[in-house]
Structure 1
């Protein structure tokens, strides 16, 4: 079966967020994430930084509205579109200031929206700032098996690693890749259906230090980490933004070959943080 990784590699390129207090969020991402804000005619805000971008919409709730993936060229995007239609996946045309014409969106069985398109980042000057490429997005779900079935067998993601409860044998976490990086999407089994966090991949461990120092100067405390994940083998820490959305900073994420078999890990603290205590979702 053709997968995203083998035939239509896709890389996370921006998030579309809703906010009850958009100005506070804009201030946070401009100040802390080196993202330059531009108001749009429709009332939304466009935020750009070095290898990271965001659309922000005023709303009566805060959270993630959509995650957008870049297919790099129109030919790959068209190939993915045809494959999704052949698999009876409903698509919706999308217009985005961050994507070239031809972008489209799909929704998973629980209503999460994923956008696929060709990024127009190359048409704009790269803003200066600290390194941190938008790299992955993670959710909690009450229907883990059905969601993984959709993203693997309909969309074409590949399972990189699974975390399993050793007593029950129940799948607890699944890490999915869309190119050669270990994961660009992941799902935790939880009691809610909600956005869990998003992640920025830095260049090296010293970047993790520098991001930590930046948040420390603003009295924004790390709530998870620093540490090293088992699945993905990456260094990390987590903080929250102005709306209490969780941000992860990562380095040295594992590169995974298309032929590599999925790994299986036990559900325990050492799996989620081999350096110490972990945040276990419930």
Structure 2
């Protein structure tokens, strides 16, 4: 059986590094709406952390690349992962962050997206509304090539695929631990960040997040509904930069080695309750 993150070094999405033309405005949104608090930073990045979620924000003019940061449980797991990747001729670059303990590293996928791995340095007792950062999704013009990298070289496992009428995959959902997906890719006409998601405890938490955004006059643009792949309840809003935030509950768990599911490309797959946001 191929080596997988789920079986050997389970990893969960820990934080994001986003790039903005107005970092202060974006940081104000995440502090107010997402209960994040500033941490001291060694450079110009704004570093924010809260209960189960964190974000680094840099100015677009600084030239720092965006990335998604995953955490493993121990330094031993981190070193095992790094050694395995380097044996596959994957370059592991240092990825220092206040959100990680020393030793974190990042890799680049075939289209240049960076993914970091480290051991968390965050306080697990932080308070705030429930919603841990759980998955991130991209659109890509090279779906097969990118998926091969994450599965065959990094060790993600495919949980579900969405296919068109010819059986060609249009969406691939991948897991790095027991949860249905922590990373997914949509086939699209652009290479861009699609959305990131916060997993809550139950439907009532989604209601409470909806009320919070309503009070701030931040409208829902997709949902509420239920996804087919993952079977999770959800809705989505956007931040001031247009980044899409999803709030989810009841995401499925998948056992190691389970065969990927196959879903037809269509609105009911993306939202069994009604209309869907279909990428192009």
Please give the range of the TM-score, normalised by the shorter of the 2 chains. Answer: over 0.9
Say which of 245, 248, 256 aligns to 2:246. 248
Query: Residues 65 and 114 of structure 2 are in contact (CA less than 8 Å); yes or no, is this contact kept in structure 1?
Result: no
Alignment of 1:55-74 (within 5 A): 55-60=56-61, 65-74=66-75
> Normalising by the residue count of structure 2, what TM-score does the alignment of the two structures yield?
0.97
The offset of 1:126, in angstroms, is 3.1
The offset of 1:100, in angstroms, is 1.1
The offset of 1:61, in angstroms, is 9.3
The offset of 1:270, in angstroms, is 0.3
- Listed as ranges, the gaps of 5+ residues in structure 1 are none
- Deviation track 1:15-42 (CA, whole Å, cap 9, x = no partner) reads 0111111111111001100101235241
Match of 1:150 in 2: 149
Alignment of 1:174-253 (within 5 A): 174-253=172-251
- Deviation track 1:172-193 (CA, whole Å, cap 9, x = no partner) reads 0000000000000000000000
Match of 1:50 in 2: 51
Say which of 169, 181, 199 aligns to 1:171. 169
Alignment of 1:9-24 (within 5 A): 9-24=10-25
Query: Residues 35 and 50 of structure 2 are in contact (CA less than 8 Å); yes or no, is this contact kept in structure 1?
Result: yes
- Listed as ranges, the gaps of 5+ residues in structure 2 are none
1-side partners of 2:62 and 2:226: how far apart?
Answer: 33
Query: Residues 14 and 69 of structure 2 are in contact (CA less than 8 Å); yes or no, is this contact kept in structure 1?
Result: yes
The offset of 1:62, in angstroms, is 11
Match of 1:276 in 2: 274
Query: Residues 3 and 156 of structure 1 are in contact (CA less than 8 Å); yes or no, is this contact kept in structure 2?
Result: yes
Change (3 A) 1:62 1:26: farther
Q: Which stretch of the first structure deviates more once superposed, 4-13 or 81-90?
A: 81-90
The structure 1 segments of at least 4 consecutive aligned residues displaced by more than 6 Å after TM superposition are 61-64
The offset of 1:94, in angstroms, is 1.6
Q: How many residues are aligned here?
A: 279
> Normalising by the residue count of structure 1, what TM-score does the alignment of the two structures yield?
0.96
